[in-house]
């Protein structure tokens, strides 16, 4: 008898091949040691089904003195109602997922790190409850995979994920 694999979808994205989700708090505490060094893509997921509350000022780092905060109106206008995925990111190059996610977590912890992509999540009042999962991508550029995932999300929600600002 063949074993049937359950396909899990989230916002139009199949989660097969992605890691088990890890909380932002756990990633920051572990200095991201569990993340592979290969190139890949990652998802930031908010499981709460209630509309988000926003912080007036971001808790993220001030790289080169620049405040990453945006207005509450901008945040509200960027929210994708009903979505669970709040950011889709990529990590290419030689240092891969580990370095990119470590920069992202350090930035969110207030360090002056140059990782402004996805910065809106640090103004979610529940950003410590967000989950991160990743998938190594070795057979094609991570950027291409990221674009495909964003397109699938947009096919379901009619917009990009909350913290994906530009292509």
Domain locations in the chain?
18-157
**pLDDT tens digits for range 99-120:** 999 999 999 999 988 777 889 9
pLDDT at 98: 95
CB 61 within 8 A of CB 111: yes
Distance, CA of 27 to CA of 17 (rounded, Å): 19
pLDDT at 10: 93
DSSP track, 30-87: HTTTTS-SS-EEEEEE----SPP-B-SS--S--GGG------HHHHHHH--TT-SEEE
Percent of the chain clearing pLDDT 90 (strictly above): 80
Question: pLDDT tier at 8 (50, 70, 90 boundaries)?
Answer: confident
Q: What is the mean pLDDT of the chain?
A: 91
User: Beta-carbon neighbour count of residue 96 at 10 Å?
Assistant: 21
**pLDDT tens digits for range 22-81:** 999 999 999 999 999 999 999 999 999 899 999 999 999 988 889 999 999 999 999 999
CB 135 within 8 A of CB 17: yes
Question: pLDDT tier at 5 (50, 70, 90 boundaries)?
Answer: low
pLDDT at 2: 47
Average pLDDT rounded to a whole number, residues 125-152: 95
Kindly state the tokens that stand for 113. 């790190």
pLDDT at 30: 94
Distance, CA of 166 to CA of 146 (rounded, Å): 12
């Amino acid at each position: 008898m063949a074993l049937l694999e359950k396909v899990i979808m989230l916002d139009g994205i199949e989660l097969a091949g992605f890691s088990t989700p890890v909380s932002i708090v756990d990633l920051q505490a572990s200095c991201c040691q569990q993340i592979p060094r290969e190139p890949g893509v990652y998802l930031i997921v908010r499981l709460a089904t209630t509309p988000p509350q926003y912080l007036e000022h971001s808790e993220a780092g001030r790289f080169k003195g620049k405040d990453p905060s945006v207005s509450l109106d901008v945040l509200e206008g960027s929210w994708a109602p009903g979505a669970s995925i709040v950011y889709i990111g990529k990590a290419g190059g030689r240092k891969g997922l580990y370095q990119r996610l470590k920069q992202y977590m350090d930035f969110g912890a207030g360090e002056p790190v140059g990782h402004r992509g996805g910065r809106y999540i640090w103004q979610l009042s529940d950003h410590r409850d967000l989950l991160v999962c990743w998938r190594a991508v070795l057979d094609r550029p991570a950027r291409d995979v990221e674009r495909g995932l964003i397109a699938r999300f947009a096919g379901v929600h009619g917009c990009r994920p909350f913290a994906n600002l530009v292509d």
